[in-house]
A and B are shown apart, each in its own frame.
Chain A
């Protein structure tokens, strides 16, 4: 608190004395108290804030595991020397790293250590009378006088009560004092909400952090890719990937289901410049709240999640899932169904892998591309030119052999390990690559079976999230905002008015204003009070200018007001 001094317009030499810390000769307890005072000092808060800003930056420079795990793996592969060292410093998990946590935990500790004593001081200040009237009001930042003419019937005591009424009407808290003397005065104060706002703001920051931690404990999230016609059931097995919070129990999942009926995608066809740019993704879901419940139709769009069973469903991706049938060498259907592909560009050139472990006599694997609109260049190489399926083509290479699925090593469904396999179809072989249009079928060489392209479906990638903390985050954020605005835009001021009876019958009034902290509107407040006082006593305003020359300092002891302003 002692650091929030009233600032004086002296020369600027901020360097001096800023970092002189003298270690006191104290015992262990004293050291602790000293350390605590250092930690909760304004300078430390500032330092930690700046540290926090700096510490957040590396997370934007390097790929981060939570959002881009594949890029991190790639980075480590590309930088075998520096990568592991950076990893040791947690530069790929900046926001969950101990050093990042250390900074914000210290900051919040400092915050608590700062807020509590401030709250106590302010609580006291709010319940005590405005500070005593300074001896020399003329030394205050704003100072004015009013002279009530003789014969008006307003004596010093009436005037001071009037002044109190005027200030009260301006919502000041007033305290009339010294009525029994010949220099009665009133002390008034306003703007306690400024400090209250500041305290609310800082406390709410703690609330935001706590609410985020709460989310981490009780929330969960997962992903699921749904092909048109498929149904997601909200059980652990229904998810492709699942990230539980620290305090998650399976009982928290409510067993609703959602079927993707349709995914409609619209592309820009009206302008040349943005031809083929996506305009709209609309998924239609049939949602059942529980196993026996009635199905309701819901529309899911980007930016418009669907809320069901305590979770929200978000549409975060989409693509094509060509429907393929593979018959093996023995003529049995070894695989049938939509194959989810990974779009790699704006034309939905989509990477596709099919693994057929059930094929006999040998397992089959296919790798290639699905092109919604295939165009051929001079060399006959197909490439995608439009995201809509105007000329859909499957381009695949085929392999036989061991898919390596039985070895127990987890395999990515989107990559095919061909090390134990023999290539039987590709551009490099006499057999050539497999090129299929819808409803076409291809017979694999050497009696390995057939593959047919039966149709096209779309898939939607859904994020499913349950976050019980975010409502609290919002509440605390709004509180913080309100507190911040109060703290920044309200002004805390003190006003004192002192009156006295002049021997010639006039009643002399002087008043002064003092701001606590930044206050650029103090002059305006002065003018308003000046006007109100003149109006109260029906003294014409233009007389005020002359008053200034009269120098009616009622009390002229050499007491500096700065002492009064530093009442704490």
Chain B
């Protein structure tokens, strides 16, 4: 077993602190972006109201909603220049009714306006993630093994995974509106790791010395990172659909910030896709966990607390996937299931690890 390298360990902790600070600043920047956007929206809206006084009521509604079609934005909404450019649709529906160049929906393209603050926020996130990546790397080098063997390491590596997954998805879709939530969660994880779960670098106990730790936990962490994204999106979806309903019933738009957020349907569609990937990941987590349990304890399934909760999470997300195909269960209810699933993930990770005893009690906290 390689020696523990204490100077690497110290370096790792310093870098982790640095990354935490960068995340904190990025978090503020994301929040500021939302705020400034909200202000701009309010101002733009005032102008809009004058401009569209003559325009058709239907179109005005669409603009007000901030979720209307690209065609509607083409007129009065153009001033704002932000908000999704296309219409979200369920994939099987027709998208050609009069909209220009819009195809698949859900693309979450935004207007031409440059959100400088948001760019700064993303840059800071990249910086923080790189620094945190080194922190995680040096933690691993210090211990001579994968850096996920106790709660501190689950938390730090897990938050790193969340940030990386977020940045990766950013390259495909403009999810910057999610930054406040996602990076907020990352921040919470980093702080929790450093304050509540801090553990000095050490070797693994024999129960964890297995290549299955590498496979099983890494996939669990990655899937959880995806679930984190969809959790944030599902929460926004709930807000957005309430707002849409309220605007639809003719009430004024009080929640300007939500203009930045795609419509509820786009959120739902994208989180469904991500949840699909994450569900496969969680299925693998469950399977690899069982194979490991067979190697370690002689049975692949024994309803240990951790196993129970892994199973519960799996079933809840299976329910979510079903809900999406069940009449009356799409939309809001599916979003709730996605949220409940994520709460189970969090519960499994925190309460179960810390307070429940079982074969998996090696989280490195408590005793």
Interface presence of B111 (CB below 8 A): no
CA distance A17 to B326 in the complex (A): 12
8 A Cβ contacts from A297-345 to B: 301-305, 312, 314, 316
Q: Which of B203, B248, B264 contacts A268 (CB 8 A)?
A: B203
Interface presence of A485 (CB below 8 A): yes
CB-CB under 8 A from B280, the residues of chain A are 481, 484-485, 488
Are A302 and B322 closer than 8 Å at their CB atoms? Answer: no
CA distance A281 to B352 in the complex (A): 27
Q: Which of B272, B279, B297, B301 contacts A316 (CB 8 A)?
A: B297
Are B203 and A274 closer than 8 Å at their CB atoms? Answer: yes
Q: Which of B200, B301, B303 contacts A273 (CB 8 A)?
A: B200
What total of chain B residues lie within 8 Å of the partner, measured CB to CB? 82
CB-CB under 8 A from A489, the residues of chain B are 276
Q: Which of B92, B103, B296, B352 contacts A517 (CB 8 A)?
A: B92
Are B202 and A268 closer than 8 Å at their CB atoms? Answer: yes
CB-CB under 8 A from B103, the residues of chain A are 142, 523, 526
CA distance A467 to B301 in the complex (A): 12
8 A Cβ contacts from B84-118 to A: 88-96, 103-104, 106
Number of A-B residue pairs with CB-CB distance less than 8 Å in the complex they form = 215
Say yes or no: A56-B294 contact (C-beta < 8 A), given A14-B333, A523-B104.
Answer: no
Smallest Cβ-Cβ distance to A8: which chain B residue: B93
CB-CB under 8 A from B209, the residues of chain A are 280, 302-303
Q: How far is the CB of B189 from chain A (nearest CB, A)?
A: 22
CB-CB under 8 A from A94, the residues of chain B are 303
CB-CB under 8 A from B332, the residues of chain A are 12, 14
Q: Which of B287, B297, B308, B329 contacts A14 (CB 8 A)?
A: B329
CA distance A4 to B322 in the complex (A): 10
Are B91 and A67 closer than 8 Å at their CB atoms? Answer: no
Interface presence of A541 (CB below 8 A): no
Are B104 and A42 closer than 8 Å at their CB atoms? Answer: no
CB-CB under 8 A from B207, the residues of chain A are 302-303
Q: How far is the CB of A86 from chain B (nearest CB, A)?
A: 17
Q: Mark B206-233, 1 if CB is under 8 A from A, else 0.
A: 1101101000000000000000000000
Are B303 and A141 closer than 8 Å at their CB atoms? Answer: no
Are A9 and B90 closer than 8 Å at their CB atoms? Answer: yes
Q: Which of B95, B283, B303, B324 contacts A481 (CB 8 A)?
A: B283
Which stretch in B17-25, B126-134, B313-321 binds the other chain? Answer: B313-321
Are B206 and A279 closer than 8 Å at their CB atoms? Answer: yes
CA distance A142 to B352 in the complex (A): 48
Interface presence of B57 (CB below 8 A): no
8 A Cβ contacts from A1-36 to B: 3-9, 11-12, 14-19
CB-CB under 8 A from B303, the residues of chain A are 59, 64, 66-67, 94-95
Are A270 and B4 closer than 8 Å at their CB atoms? Answer: yes
Interface presence of B75 (CB below 8 A): no
Are B312 and A279 closer than 8 Å at their CB atoms? Answer: no
Say yes or no: A467-B319 contact (C-beta < 8 A), given A7-B92, A53-B312.
Answer: no
CB-CB under 8 A from B244, the residues of chain A are 12
Q: How far is the CB of B160 from chain A (nearest CB, A)?
A: 23
Interface presence of B356 (CB below 8 A): yes
Are A50 and B210 closer than 8 Å at their CB atoms? Answer: no
Q: How far is the CB of A10 from chain B (nearest CB, A)?
A: 9
Interface presence of B241 (CB below 8 A): yes
Interface presence of A138 (CB below 8 A): yes
Q: How far is the CB of B166 from chain A (nearest CB, A)?
A: 19
Interface presence of B305 (CB below 8 A): yes
CB-CB under 8 A from A277, the residues of chain B are 202-203, 205
CB-CB under 8 A from B299, the residues of chain A are 221, 465, 467
Are B210 and A271 closer than 8 Å at their CB atoms? Answer: no
Q: Which of A11, A17, A312 contacts B298 (CB 8 A)?
A: A312
CA distance A17 to B337 in the complex (A): 19
Most buried by B among A14, A43, A301, A470: A14
Q: Which of B201, B298, B301, B331 contacts A463 (CB 8 A)?
A: B298
Most buried by A among B91, B212, B305: B91
Interface presence of A538 (CB below 8 A): no
Interface presence of A139 (CB below 8 A): yes
Are B328 and A14 closer than 8 Å at their CB atoms? Answer: yes
Smallest Cβ-Cβ distance to A43: which chain B residue: B326
Are B298 and A46 closer than 8 Å at their CB atoms? Answer: no
Q: Which of B294, B304, B323 contacts A46 (CB 8 A)?
A: B323
CA distance A43 to B200 in the complex (A): 50
A-B interface, 4 closest residue pairs, ranked by CB to CB distance from nearest = A18-B328, A273-B200, A523-B104, A274-B202
- What are 22 of the A-B contact pairs (CB < 8 Å)? A7-B92, A9-B93, A18-B329, A46-B323, A49-B318, A56-B308, A60-B352, A67-B304, A143-B96, A268-B202, A274-B200, A274-B202, A302-B296, A304-B295, A314-B297, A316-B298, A465-B299, A470-B300, A514-B92, A515-B91, A518-B269, A526-B103
Known contacts A303-B209, A304-B295, then 12 further A-B pairs from the complex at CB < 8 Å, ordered by chain A residue: A18-B328, A46-B323, A53-B315, A56-B308, A56-B315, A60-B308, A273-B200, A303-B206, A305-B298, A312-B298, A470-B294, A518-B269
